[in-house]
Every structure is written in structure tokens, then in C-alpha cells.
């Protein structure tokens, strides 16, 4: 193999690695959806939708949150409501 061929192959590999990372936003959204699925073990979809509606309209949401949610789950719920607005 000539030196030029090796350099072209290395460039293709670098481009491929760069292209593989271009779907970072999609992977982040997928992770958020998985977290939402984890959250749905503690809240029904109806409860989650009521929370999102109340959060978006500025109504108090304290009564809509079931006891036993962790801080990270509350943050996930808030991020979900912000994402859907």
C-alpha cells in the first residue's frame, strides 16, 4: 500500500467516528424517554399528563406529585414538562 492510501483510509475512519457521534441529541431524547418509562412505574400516564398541564399553565403541582418520588425523578418530571411546552 502506498502512503497516500493509508492516509485516505485514516481520513475515512476519522470521518466515520465523527459521523457516529452526530446523533447525540437523538440518544439524549431516547434516554429521556427511558427515564419517563421509569417514572411511569410510580405515576400513571394520566397523572403525568395532569402534572405537565398544571406545570405549563403555572398552576400549583404539589398536590399532583405522589409521595415517594426521589429528587432525580422530580427533576425528570420537570424536564419532561419543559420539553413538551
Q: Tell me the range of 9-13, 32-36, 71-75 where mean pLDDT is highest.
A: 71-75
pLDDT of amino acid 85: 64
Query: CA-CA distance, 83 to 70, in Å (whole number)?
Result: 20
Which helix (H) or strand (E) covers residue 35, if one does?
A: helix 24-39
Q: What is the pLDDT of residues 30-59, one digit of tens each?
A: 666 655 556 777 888 888 889 889 988 999
Question: What is the pTM for the complete model shown?
Answer: 0.54
In a domain, 64, yes or no: yes
Residue 20 in any domain: the answer is: no
Cβ neighbours for 69, distance < 8 A, ≥ 6 positions apart = 42, 43, 77
Residue 8 falls inside a structural domain? no
Domain enclosing residue 71, as ranges: 28-85
Burial 31-58 (b: 16+ CB within 10 A, else e): eeeebbeebeebbeeebbebbbebbeee
Q: Per the structure, how many domains does the chain have?
A: 1
Amino acid at each position: 500500500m502506498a502512503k497516500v492510501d493509508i492516509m485516505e483510509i485514516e481520513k475515512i475512519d476519522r470521518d466515520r467516528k465523527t459521523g457516529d457521534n452526530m446523533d447525540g441529541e437523538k440518544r439524549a431524547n431516547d434516554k429521556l424517554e427511558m427515564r419517563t418509562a421509569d417514572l411511569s412505574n410510580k405515576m400513571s400516564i394520566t397523572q403525568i399528563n395532569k402534572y405537565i398541564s398544571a406545570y405549563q399553565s403555572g398552576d400549583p403541582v404539589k398536590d399532583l406529585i405522589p409521595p415517594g418520588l426521589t429528587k432525580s425523578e422530580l427533576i425528570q418530571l420537570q424536564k419532561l414538562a419543559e420539553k413538551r411546552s
